[in-house]
Amino acid sequence: MDDTKLNRWQYITMATLFTGYAGYYICRSNFSVATPLILTEFKDAGIDKAAIGGVASTGVMLYALGKITNGLLADFVGGRLLFIGGMVASVMCTVAFGMSAGLAAFTVIWAINRYVQSGGWVSLVKVSSRWFPLRRYATIMGVLSMSYLLGDAFARGYLGLFLELGVGWRGLFFIAAGTVGAIALVSLFTLKGSPQEVGLEEPNASAANVYGVAGNAPVPPSFGKLIGPLLASPVFWLCGTLNFGLTLIRETFNFWSPTFLTEVTGASNSQAAIGSMVFPLVGAVSAFSAGALSDRFDGRHGRVIFPSIVLLTVALCVLAFANMENKYYVALVLLSSVSFFLIAPYSFLSGVIAMDLGGKQGSSTTAGLLDSAGYLGAIVSGWGIGKIAEEYGWSAAFGFLAGVCGITAIVAAVYWIHQERTHGIRGVLASIVEVDEKTDPPASLEE
């Protein structure tokens, strides 16, 4: 095997996936950044936080549905086409949103945008499952998880600078569309669906995937044989439940952070947009650290997931009861602590765990189903959290999230116990695969 060529293409693939998925977030975070301006412009038309939250929740519903359908599609047709096609479709939706007005138009266009964007992550997982070696899964997916976190942070800072220059919310949407269109064009030339497209061999899938030896096949033989083993896995159901709670919390902070900062701490619109960057920036550090730590624990993800969720519950309680009135920097510190303890466990669920469970055959379907469970929970983060904040204040909203997190911690404890009990057998299977890989080890990302 040409180790130098493999090394080069692995890094090209990782860089393309990283940049491309960060681009997806430019056409997603723009709505959050623009929300304070939209609320001001359309106040007399009856568009308040609950209404905008409804738009967001509708988008999340379509995103959850798309995770299922696009996850299945990526496993059958491959990840490259869906990854690039999703970017192009999102660009078109973003332009259309910037040209629209009124609650109905906002709702329909945003829902379509979220649906086409749902193909981004599942196709990324599909491509990754064919390019990267088992023993580096957690670290690689930790790096790629940083793409949506840094992409979110970049989008908020990037678009926030345009707010400083006086560009309106419509201009923000057009700028976002142009930026992502350029990324999609470059990806056409730099993204390959598998090593075979450049004359290289693929690494083996995890021996512990739910399909056994068949998990090394890149295309499933049928829908039934793809879905059946997943639904029979207790780990799959535990992870779906974990994703439900954690995604609800994450989407709340992704969407409402700028509004919270402007209403409670007195920050300006541009300050709130830039300040909200701390959430994804700290999350990026958390995702990478968690991935590297899990690989050191030999894939025992529960050792990171459970303690993180317990500490997240504590951080949410502090945020619920602390007085944030005109305390911009104190609020940023608390947002940072929530992000650090949230993103570590969140980044595992539809990334490395999806690849562990799904192998090459069902990685995108697994990621899509786990994410769809999460985004069903996240529907509450739009309309539900907006309604609580409107009627009872932000402290009540954060208290509700702390309760959700406490329940999620119990599920995380069950997952941890189950994984520790079964890891011995899984470790033996994984070691067999690793020995097979070492018969002709590539340099590069396995080292």
Mean pLDDT of the chain: 83
**Which structure tokens are listed for 404?**
């959700």
Which range is most confident: 51-55, 185-189, 319-323, 440-444? 185-189
- Per-residue model confidence as pLDDT tens digits over 223-233: 888 888 888 88
| More confident position, 389 or 333 | 333
Is the pLDDT score of 109 beyond 90?
Answer: yes
Burial (0-12, 13-18, 19+ Cβ within 10 Å), 326: exposed
Query: Are 245 and 404 a contacting pair, CB within 8 Å?
Result: yes
Q: What average pLDDT does range 59-76 have in this prediction? A: 88
Coil/strand/helix, residue 446: helix
Which range is most confident: 97-101, 120-124, 154-158? 120-124
Query: Are 371 and 243 a contacting pair, CB within 8 Å?
Result: yes
Quote the percentage of the chain above a pLDDT of 70: 93
Q: What average pLDDT does range 431-435 have in this prediction? A: 48
Is the pLDDT score of 178 beyond 80?
Answer: yes
Residues in the chain: 447
- Per-residue model confidence as pLDDT tens digits over 340-366: 999 989 988 877 888 888 888 888 899
Burial (0-12, 13-18, 19+ Cβ within 10 Å), 221: exposed
- Picking from 444, 377, 392, the residue whose alpha carbon sits closest to that of residue 140 is 444
Alpha helices in 214-301 (DSSP H): 223-231, 234-264, 269-275, 278-296
d(CA 270, CA 134) in angstroms, rounded, equals 43
- The reported pTM is 0.78
Is the pLDDT score of 183 beyond 90?
Answer: yes
Query: Are 110 and 58 a contacting pair, CB within 8 Å?
Result: yes
- Picking from 141, 287, 297, 129, the residue whose alpha carbon sits closest to that of residue 206 is 129
Could you give the C-alpha distances from 75 to 84, 86, 98, 140, 254, in angstroms and in order? 15, 15, 33, 20, 29
* Element holding 388 (H helix, E strand): helix 385-392
- Per-residue model confidence as pLDDT tens digits over 193-206: 888 888 888 888 77
Query: Are 440 and 1 a contacting pair, CB within 8 Å?
Result: yes
Could you give the C-alpha distances from 43 to 35, 255, 270, in angstroms and in order? 11, 19, 19
d(CA 265, CA 250) in angstroms, rounded, equals 20
Lowest mean pLDDT among 7-21, 95-109, 425-439: 425-439
pLDDT-derived band at 309 (thresholds 50, 70, 90) equals very high
d(CA 256, CA 263) in angstroms, rounded, equals 11
Is the pLDDT score of 291 beyond 50?
Answer: yes
Q: Supply the CATH number for residue 263's domain.
A: 1.20.1250.20
Coil/strand/helix, residue 314: helix
Question: Which residues make Cβ contacts (< 8 Å) with residue 157, sequence separation at least 6?
Answer: 273, 274, 277
Lowest mean pLDDT among 56-60, 92-96, 394-398, 424-428: 424-428
Is the pLDDT score of 424 beyond 70?
Answer: no
Is the pLDDT score of 447 beyond 50?
Answer: no
- Picking from 148, 206, 225, the residue whose alpha carbon sits closest to that of residue 436 is 206
**Which structure tokens are listed for 419?**
């994984």
Coil/strand/helix, residue 221: coil
pLDDT-derived band at 2 (thresholds 50, 70, 90) equals low
Range of the domain at 73: 3-446
d(CA 223, CA 41) in angstroms, rounded, equals 48
- Picking from 163, 395, 114, the residue whose alpha carbon sits closest to that of residue 273 is 163
Lowest mean pLDDT among 6-15, 103-112, 143-152, 380-389: 380-389
pLDDT-derived band at 323 (thresholds 50, 70, 90) equals confident
d(CA 388, CA 381) in angstroms, rounded, equals 10
d(CA 340, CA 143) in angstroms, rounded, equals 15
Lowest mean pLDDT among 55-69, 111-125, 377-391: 377-391
Is the pLDDT score of 441 beyond 50?
Answer: no
Q: What average pLDDT does range 238-262 have in this prediction? A: 86
Task: Give counts: helices (H), strands (E), the chain.
Answer: 17, 0
**Number of domains making up the chain:** 1
**Which structure tokens are listed for 432?**
């067999």
d(CA 125, CA 48) in angstroms, rounded, equals 37
d(CA 292, CA 285) in angstroms, rounded, equals 11
